[in-house]
Amino acid sequence: MTSPPADTSDGKNAVTARDLERRYGEGATAVHALRGVSLDVRGGELVAVMGPSGSGKSTLMHILAGLDKPTTGSVRIAGTEISGLDDAKLTLLRREHIGFVFQFFNLLPMLDAEENIVLPLSIAGERPDRQWLDELLRKTGLSARRSHRPAQLSGGEQQRVAIARSLITRPTILLADEPTGNLDSRTGSEILELLRDSADAYGQTLVMVTHDARVASIADRILVLADGQIVRELVGSTAADVLEVMSTLD
């Protein structure tokens, strides 16, 4: 079974961001986390965001997800400008269109794997599509672990639960902030493959922050942030190319 491609009603773009600035604090001590970032993410595209620590990657992801507001600039998700939405409308839009995967898996310890995966639907008072749930469990290799609680799962399994949870609602865009940051390199590679597969098999649109140059081989495009700006855009690069670019920034 394949689900329809993600809703990309904003023409061909799932996400459009224009001139994003994010300033923390005021005056001489203000921190300019983002200084004019614009980007378009096409439906079905897998974009990686790289950059030195403190370059604004997490800030950008939180703003794209509607978890934080830019000081100036605009974000459109699936054709809707989110900066003007009130909290209730933003919550609905986030529920329908946005999936988020964190570096720390953020699972609820008292719920088992399956309950964690369907949580976004439970909160919304909706029932899961059993076929889709079973397919996600199979794809993430969790079918035999569905009744295990997070404490009974390995780190890689917990992150796979978090990814399945982010996909259960078939979001327009899946945002992942260092999804392999807490995993050993082999488990990290498996998670990267799973994310690539979600783009290939379901047309899932993804933006993913990572420090791992191996993403070069799975991303369609790599945006490099430095000091709150996009300084490079890499397409068709090798891991060696990526390492070289990163070494000039650190």
Ligand X SMILES: Nc1ncnc2c1ncn2[C@@H]1O[C@H](COP(=O)(O)OP(=O)(O)OP(=O)(O)O)[C@@H](O)[C@H]1O
Q: Which residues bind ligand X (CB under 6 A)?
A: 24, 31, 33, 51, 53-59
Residue 226 C-beta: closest distance to ligand X, Å: 9
Residue 126 C-beta: closest distance to Mg ion, Å: 31
State yes or no: residue 58 binds Mg ion (CB under 5 A). yes
Residue 93 C-beta: closest distance to ligand X, Å: 22
Distance between CA 230 and CA 157 in Å, rounded? 33
- The amino acid at residue 182 is N
> What six digits make up the tokens of 226?
């430095």
Question: What, of Mg ion, ligand X, none, does residue 31 touch, CB below 5 to 8 Å by kind?
Answer: ligand X
Nearer to Mg ion, 14 or 209 (CB): 209
Question: What, of Mg ion, ligand X, none, does residue 24 touch, CB below 5 to 8 Å by kind?
Answer: ligand X
Q: What part of residues 201-220 is at the interface with Mg ion (CB under 5 A)? A: none
Residue 246 C-beta: closest distance to Mg ion, Å: 15
b/e map 134-173, b = 16+ CB within 10 Å: ebbbebbebeebbebbbeebebbbbbbbbbbbbbbbbbbb
β-strand partners of 208:
48, 176
Distance between CA 217 and CA 145 in Å, rounded? 30
Distance between CA 177 and CA 203 in Å, rounded? 20
Nearer to Mg ion, 13 or 58 (CB): 58
State yes or no: residue 8 binds Mg ion (CB under 5 A). no
Residue 210 C-beta: closest distance to Mg ion, Å: 10
What is the three-class DSSP state of 77? Answer: strand
Residue 59 C-beta: closest distance to ligand X, Å: 3
Distance between CA 224 and CA 143 in Å, rounded? 37
Nearer to Mg ion, 113 or 242 (CB): 242
Question: What, of ligand X, Mg ion, none, does residue 59 touch, CB below 5 to 8 Å by kind?
Answer: ligand X
Nearer to ligand X, 51 or 73 (CB): 51
What is the Cα Rg of the chain in Å?
Answer: 18
Using CB under 5 A, which of the segments 52-60, 70-78, 132-140, 216-224 binds Mg ion? 52-60
| Helix extents (H) in 57-175 | 57-64, 87-97, 113-117, 119-123, 130-139, 155-167
Binding-site ranges for Mg ion (CB under 5 A): 57-58
